[in-house]
Structure 1
Amino acid sequence: MLLLRRALPPSTAYTTATRRLRVPSRISTLPHPHRLATTSSTTSIDPGFVPRPSDAQRKTIYALSTPPGKAGIAVVRISGPEVLQVWKHIVRRAEPEPWRMERCKIMHPTGGNMLDDGLAVYFKGPKSFTTEDVLELHIHSGRAIIASVLGALSHLPFCRPAEPGEFTRRAFLGGRLDLPQVEGLKDLIDAETEGQRRLALEAAGGAVSARFEDLRTGIIRCLAKIEALIDFSEGEDIEDGVYEDARNDATTLLATIRSYLGDNRRGEILRSGVHLTIFGPPNAGKSSLLNFLAQREAAIVTPVPGTTRDILELSLDIGGIPVIISDTAGLRPTDDLVEQIGVERARKAIQAADIALCVVSCEDTDATRSLPSAVADLVTERTFVLFNKSDLRPDASDNEPNNNNGTPTHWWTTSLKTGEGTAEFLTGFAQALKTRFDLDLDQDSPHTPLITHARHRVHLESAAGFIEAFLETTAEDVVIGAEELRYAAQAVGKVTGRIDVEDILDSLFRDFCIGK
């Protein structure tokens, strides 16, 4: 028997051993293509069984790239080295012509039945979004059709569903996008106002990256001058004044960085929204104002003082600027424990807001428009004032209000009940927001904010610190000065993703939607 086993060819011996292998019957629940032959109590592995590749081995990814739901068209995107194989199994036509949309029948790769009559376009790498071969299937956007096409792709053993943001991550790794462009692309998808759209479009187009790269290049030039002093001895032909030129250039660069950092967070505010808190005495019309701005009954309005007790937030578009509005409890002394908590929360919200809008009833003011004592101490240079219920006091003075502390304010007079003055208020308030945050959204402004994310600010602050440290060194400490400049260049490089970005990649791309 031993001699017989030795005489068997290796492949035969392997097949014999494989056929004798017994595994628990629960494995029989594994789907195609694991090709398991099942008995009542055990399962034998088919001798022709080929293990399905792992996710790490399957480099071709697919996902729905349009929002799910009923619509005219849905786009399924496939990217990776096996895209032409997907075309062969799904479209079943001759090799496609790149960048040409073709009408085709979408077929099931194993069943052979038609799934939909749609369009397909093939993008040949590296001239594609991901820099890989990409196939897009444009199908009808019905739930059953989308599910059938995605299910058909799952039957291809070399394909797998894409992770969130994986298409964009491949574009980044392929050099198609840098980090500010990736962030701009996500912000462009999420943009809800005209200001957000313009800001995101500039970042996605590479304009922001170019400004950061100019800054980094300037630091590297300073570093090159300092390293020239280190690498060459005094006997070499080095021009006089190289060290002074490097210091002058570094001083200019530091001033540029400080100007970017001193933008009052304009870019971050425009991207995430201006936080506006509405406050004032009870029954002044705060909730009515919120409903007017939202154009719906977002807040409960009653003649009973103290109706609003907690903070109600809404996100609105005012003049192209995203505004997150918080309606707060009326400010007054009260013995009601719940209302006291609401008043305290209102005070904290006012202090934390970017700007505040104080709503006062014309009934509660005298001829000098003095603000009630309950709100006067909360009015600052960040506060606007709206005198509401002008219909109850037609003789209300148009004199500038006295807020008891001499702080200048923007103010308007309206009647939210009759609509009198509301158009002027909306126009003036939108313009006041643009002026407050220096946002010119009516034309292409050369002063578009550079910093739109917190990490940009962190890295620029770090670069400024290193340049300041360089300027504190002397000519005798050029080695230390060069190291400070090197750190500064690396800090700016982290913004665009040129170096040391592995620690932020996962957190950045996982916020993307599936299929992008």
Structure 2
Amino acid sequence: MISADTIVALSSGRVPAGVAVIRISGPKTRFVIETIAGGMVNNRVARLRKLRAPDGSVLDSGLVIFFPGPGSFTGEDVAEFQVHGGRAVVARLLETIAGFEGVRHAEAGEFTRRAFLNGKVDLVRTEALADLVNAETEAQRRFAVQNAEGVQAELYLSWRRRLIHARAMIEAEIDFADEDDIPGSVSDTVWSDVRTLIGEVDRHIAGFRAGEIIREGFEVVILGAPNAGKSSLFNALARRDAAIVTDEPGTTRDLLEIVLDLDGLRVRLTDTAGLRDAAGKVEAIGIEKARAKAHGADLLLVLEDIADPHPVALPREGIATLRVGTKLDLVRGQAAAGGYDRVISTKDGTGVAALLADIGRLAAQQVGDAGDILPSRLRHVELLGEANRFLLRAAESPDAGQELRAEDLRLAADRLGRIVGAVDVEDMLDVIFSQFCIGK
């Protein structure tokens, strides 16, 4: 698919910078290069050129590279200008290029969208590219690279191929039951494989939380009574005064959050209001927020002052919890009496590093094997769930008739195809590509 118009955008980071990369894609790309760079350049060869506006005025000097379609990222003619990264230089060059007839500024994700529409990438790889651009930790980078290389997409396509084959076998048995070359036991083999596939999809769906933790972060919430040392620990882990610390109970009234990188994993740490019954109206709102936040946590750090412990009720059962005794520097002789998982002193740093290691270990356990293929989007899980419901209905309804069961196989294969974009997904494209920055 060749677009009628040509798009341009800054594809590198924000300016000012040492170098800025401006990308063009579309049918007018060659004409823009010939005009601005004073002639055509060899394909895929970087050339240093003086860049001029149509009136002959010099814009800048920089490298120009031309990638002819369809062997380019978008599948169209593509060019890149690598210029000095000053704001005025970039703004003037973008203004000049967008001033050509048939050329306009790109929308968010439009380059990648054209790559998808031209068959250069599938939807799963497209989403992985967005994750790669936004990756902040090593685990996020590895996860995005794995999916961008097509491992995840190939898994879904292999399942779809199995269903297409199964449906073909069932329909062949229906249409040619009297033929000698169609074995009568083919349906038994087909439904056995379908049941196997149901289990594979279920196990894959179960890995979504691990993929979500990699992408969004491992959620850790600090709970405790007022003056249990929550904000002091929060500041110690943040390595800055992110929360106010005083002797007055109820100082923290809203949720405070920081993001940590623990051995390549993203960890979101939240400080909360002290939990107690007697509280003012504003503090009570903060306490309710704390309980709500804790309800969805992956790990709770429940803090108690070793010398003056005030136990707090947990929001629900089943959440991983570390009981932490605080203010060890004040009462070292009583440290062993509380049965804590860790005892710490934020004043002298005792136990803080060990607690941080505990958090990292528990986060890594939740993620599991780094080589596992995991769902990376909620839409994947929703479509996989729909596919499995069709498969279950087909596998568990032997009296429904082979025609209806074959139709359920088709519907399941359709849902798998929607994940990678092998079938019509027009209604999802705007949502998917809106995740990208301008220029990607």
1:374 matched to which residue of 2?
A: 312
Cα separation, 1, equivalents of 2:293 and 2:99 = 54
Give the AA of the match of 1:447: D
1:438 to 367, 370, 373: 367
Q: What is the SS of the residue equivalent to 2:432?
A: helix
- Alpha-carbon shift at residue 124 of structure 1 (Å): 1.4
SS at match of 1:103: strand
Give the drift of 1:123: 0.8
Tell me which of 6, 27, 35 is aligned to 1:81. Answer: 27
State the one-letter code of the partner of 2:9: A
| Counterpart contact for 1:243–1:475, Cα < 8 Å | no
Give the share of equivalent positions with the same residue, in percent: 40
Counterparts of 1:393 and 1:314, CA distance in 2: 29
Structure 1 residue runs without a partner (length 5+): 1-55, 366-371, 403-410
What SS class does the counterpart of residue 151 from structure 1 fall into? Answer: helix
Structure 2 SS opposite 1:514: coil
Q: Distance in 2 between matches of 1:380 and 1:481?
A: 39
Cα distance in structure 1, aligned partners of 2:3 and 2:400: 55
For residue 8 of structure 2, the aligned residue among 49, 62, 86 is 62
Structure 2 Cα separation of the partners of residues 376 and 480 of structure 1 = 49
Q: Partner letter of residue 361 of structure 2? A: Q
1:387 aligns with 2:387: no
Given residue 101 of structure 1, which amino acid in structure 2 is its aligned partner? A
> In structure 1, what is the equivalent of residue 437 of structure 2?
513
**For residues 295-444 of structure 1, what are the structure 2 equivalents within 5 Å?**
295-365=239-309, 372-375=310-313, 380-398=318-336, 401=339, 411-435=341-365, 437-440=366-369
1:43-442, aligned counterparts within 5 Å? 58-93=4-39, 95-109=40-54, 111-263=55-207, 265-365=209-309, 372-375=310-313, 380-398=318-336, 401=339, 411-435=341-365, 437-440=366-369
Q: Report the equivalent of 1:480.
A: 404
Change (3 A) 1:235 1:209: closer
Shift in Å, 1:252: 0.7
In 2: Cα distance, 1:62 partner to 1:438 partner: 39
1:378-404 superposed Cα distances (whole Å, 9 cap, x missing partner)? 6754212222211111123447827xx
SS at match of 1:283: coil
Question: Aligned partners of 1:380, 1:483: CA distance in 2, in Å?
Answer: 40
Q: Which has the higher contact order (CA 8 A, sep 6+)?
A: 2
Cα distance in 1 for residues equivalent to 2:101 and 2:205: 51
Give the letter aligned to residue 383 of structure 2: H
C-alpha separation in 2, matches of 1:433 and 1:476: 46
Partner in structure 2 of residue 469 of structure 1:
393
Indicate conservation of the 8 Å contact 2:29/2:77, yes or no. yes
In the alignment, is the contact (CA less than 8 A) between 2:324 and 2:343 conserved in 1? yes
Paired residue type of 2:38: R
Query: Following the alignment from structure 2 to structure 1, what is the Cα–Cα distance between the partners of residues 233 and 264?
Result: 19
CA contact (8 A) 1:180 1:204 kept: yes
For 2:332, what is the secondary structure of its paired residue? coil
Tell me, in whole angstroms, the C-alpha distance in 1 between the residues paired with 2:317 and 2:250: 21
2:436 match: secondary structure: coil
**Preserved contact between residue 294 and residue 315 of structure 2 (Cα < 8 Å):** no
* Aligned amino acid, residue 446 of structure 1: G
Q: Whole-Å Cα distance in 2 between the matches of residues 137 and 353 of structure 1?
A: 46
Q: TM-score, normalised by structure 2?
A: 0.95
Quickly say closer, same or farther: Cα 1:390–1:206, change in 2 above 3 A. same
Residue 77 of structure 1 aligns with an amino acid whose one-letter code is R
Distance in structure 2 (CA, Å) of the matches to 1:101 and 1:376? 62
Q: CA RMSD in A?
A: 1.9
Q: CA deviation at 1:190?
A: 0.8
Matches of 2:183 and 2:201, distance apart in 1: 28
CA deviations on 1:474-506 (whole Å, 9 max, x unpaired) are: 277100010000001001111111012101001
Which of 413, 426, 431 lines up with 1:502 in the alignment? 426
1:104 aligns to what SS in structure 2?
A: strand
For the pair shown, the structure with the greater C-alpha radius of gyration is 1
Range that drifts further, 210-219 or 474-483? 474-483
Q: For the residues of structure 1 that align with 2:225 and 2:194, how far apart are their CA atoms?
A: 53
Matched, 1:447 2:372: yes
Size of the aligned set, in residue pairs, is 439
Q: 1:399 to 1:239 in 2, by over 3 A?
A: farther
**Match 1:493 to one of 393, 407, 417:** 417
